[in-house]
Amino acid sequence: MRDPEGSFGRTGVLRRQRHSGIGTCGARPLLRPRAWEVGTMETLCTARTSNRARSRSAWRRHTDHPRLGVLLLVGALLVALLPVSASAGPGDDGAGTAASTSELTRLGALTLLDSGYGPSSMVLAPDGQAAYFGMVGEWYYGEDRVPGKVLRVDLTERAIDGTLELPVEESWLKSAVVDPEGRFAYFGTYDGYWDPWEVPTGRVVKVDLATFERVGALDLEDGEGNLLAAMVSPDGRFAYFSAGTWPDALIKIDLETFERVGKLTLADDESRVRSAVIAPDGRFAYLGTESRQVVRIDLETFQRKDAITLLGAERELTTAVIDPAGRYAYFGSFGTYSTPSRVVKLDLETFERLGAIVLDANESYLTAAVMDSRGDYAYFGTNHAPGRVLAIDLASFERAGGITLDAGEGGVWAAMMAPEGESAYFAAGLALVEVGVLTSPPLVFDDVPSDHPFHDEIAWMVQEGITTGFPDGTFRPVNSVTRQAAAAFLYRLAGEPPVTAAAGFTDVPTDHPFHDEIAWMVQEGITTGFPDGTFRPVNDVTRQAMAAFLYRFVFGEDPAAPEPENDTIEITVVKEWYDIEA
């Protein structure tokens, strides 16, 4: 049994109350049951999503809420008081990534329509509470036009929550984006066929997600129809729709004014843009074409920069994903009866093709793709009947499994990850199908078995990018924490913010492996060092100094102590005034 005082000892008391009545799935709490189908209840495990990108100022703002502030403080305490060796450097305490042991699992489905054609586009509200589906209203060469519609699904209740009827001119909503704040969704229309002798005119439909009303439509110019792919800039200012006519073009829309503000025409042989992704920093976009090119667009200048032509079997690039760091992109080819689909990996720094995975014969016709938020796995849906979902392990760049959906769940035209990261939604035929996806388990160190009393805390540090252990695959949990390691933990927990000045200590030169971490602590007022102008980075951090670091990290340099939440946590700190920082 663990010491109830944890590692506080005599300088502090920590009292925690555990939640009761909550089941567990492994080490993770269970979500409430989800009703997918009549008489069926599905139970899922929560994901531990990363918050490490928050700045320290954001943490301090959140402490205005008493309980949340307490949780943040406890998180910081767990981080700082876990041991690490003095030799650990910011990029030199890493161990390898553990392999996944999970399998794809069909969790449930919701029937969207009883007959007709299913959704061809989908967006997810950023809070994950609702999904919006652009439906197919026409199919055969512009005949039998019927009004389009947008369906709203309440994902907490797993039920259709509303239907928005559109004009007949907006009958096939092929592409869609949502702004980062989740205020509006934008759907691009498609004419259902491509005829070079007829020049379609596309339209972008704007839907207010709060009121679920059509609040506008933007008619594009002649020759700017068949909006096959769409993307939105990371700041939510612009949306880009590919016009799949000849020659193809990329249309730029200002979402603040809802106006068409630009058109970029591609080369004649760069026909039929079928997929598009945008770099996380918003600098470049990458367009996949039917004619096996990946075209790179400089979005700052809105000019075509260059293009890669892939191999002959890698035509019709109908799907694409990009990793969260913006280093690699993955394009899926449609394939044919005789040519299996492929997933092609591109290095975006060198803009070169690195390789491809040739899929099985029953995994061709890729029509939808999605990647998890950590960039561990990508998932591709097929246009088979029934549809199939396959997983690609992006670290090893290998096929990691697949699952065939149920009868009637064919034609996977759209896909989105659930916010908690442990499932994905696929619009398949006339249904919305949820699939439990693969998860990379927390790194298991050789010296931290699953029954280790601090296993979950150490695994959390790994998952959040705060530590990676040592090159020999160990964490060395009983080693002491050095002052430089404490600086590294806090710096990573804060999201590795910019450092604007040198550390200023005589024993921390600018080429010190922990210089930036220590300089950041000085910059933020977390440390002042010792009176002799040193930081003593390889010294063990004392418990009183750690208390000071945490206090300043969470509450500022030296503000008045906050009132504790007695039912959650009680902290008493005793300062000893010898050989400590000012």
> Is 468 inside a domain boundary?
yes
- Indicate whether 459 and 317 sit together in one domain: no
pLDDT in tens, the chain (582 residues): 332 222 222 222 222 222 322 222 333 322 333 445 432 323 223 232 333 333 333 333 333 433 344 444 444 444 444 443 333 333 333 323 333 445 899 999 999 988 777 888 999 998 889 999 998 865 544 455 677 899 999 999 999 999 999 988 888 899 999 999 999 999 999 875 545 556 678 999 999 999 999 999 999 998 898 899 999 999 999 999 999 877 899 999 999 999 999 999 999 889 889 999 999 999 999 999 999 999 999 999 999 999 999 998 898 999 999 999 899 999 999 887 677 899 999 999 999 999 999 998 778 889 999 999 888 899 999 988 889 999 999 989 999 999 999 998 988 999 999 988 889 999 998 999 999 998 765 556 888 887 788 888 888 888 788 887 777 778 889 888 899 999 999 999 998 999 999 999 999 999 999 999 999 999 999 999 999 999 999 999 998 999 999 999 888 765 554 544 444 444 444 433 334 443
- Indicate whether 388 and 243 sit together in one domain: yes
For the entire predicted model, the pTM comes to: 0.64
- Indicate whether 473 and 328 sit together in one domain: no
> Is 78 inside a domain boundary?
yes
> Is 469 inside a domain boundary?
yes
Say if CB 540 and CB 478 are below 8 A apart. Answer: no
CATH number at 358 reads: 2.130.10.10
Rounded to whole angstroms, how far apart are CA atoms 403 and 245? 35
Q: Which two tokens stand for residue 362?
A: 């029953």
- Indicate whether 242 and 348 sit together in one domain: yes
Q: What is the CA radius of gyration of the chain?
A: 27
- Indicate whether 256 and 304 sit together in one domain: yes
Say if CB 307 and CB 270 are below 8 A apart. Answer: yes
> Is 281 inside a domain boundary?
yes
Tell me whether the omega of the peptide bond preceding residue 386 falls within 30 degrees of 0, making it cis.
Answer: yes
Q: By CB neighbour count within 10 A (0-12 exposed, 13-18 middle, 19+ buried), where does 451 fall?
A: exposed
- Indicate whether 319 and 396 sit together in one domain: yes
- Indicate whether 270 and 256 sit together in one domain: yes
With tokens 């590692």, the residue in question is 7
Q: How far is CA 472 from CA 82, 91, 453, 489, in A?
A: 19, 14, 22, 20
Based on DSSP, count helices (H) and strands (E) in the chain, helices before strands: 6, 32
> Is 4 inside a domain boundary?
no
Look at residues 384, 402, 436 and tell me which one is the last residue of a structural domain.
436
pLDDT of residue 223: 82
Look at residues 436, 459, 483 and tell me which one is the last residue of a structural domain.
436
pLDDT of residue 124: 94
Q: Which two tokens stand for residue 298?
A: 């400089």
> Is 573 inside a domain boundary?
no
Say if CB 438 and CB 104 are below 8 A apart. Answer: yes
- Indicate whether 316 and 205 sit together in one domain: yes
CB atoms within 10 A of CB 287: 28
The parent domain of residue 247 ranges over: 105-119+196-436
Give the count of domains, the chain.
2
- Indicate whether 281 and 382 sit together in one domain: yes
Q: 512 Cβ partners below 8 Å, 6+ apart?
A: 503, 518, 537
> Is 170 inside a domain boundary?
no
pLDDT of residue 117: 78
- Indicate whether 378 and 446 sit together in one domain: no
Cα angle 283, 349, 461 (rounded to 5 degrees) comes to: 90
- Indicate whether 297 and 362 sit together in one domain: yes
- Indicate whether 419 and 287 sit together in one domain: yes
pLDDT of residue 558: 59
Look at residues 436, 463, 490 and tell me which one is the last residue of a structural domain.
436
Say if CB 173 and CB 134 are below 8 A apart. Answer: yes
> Is 50 inside a domain boundary?
no
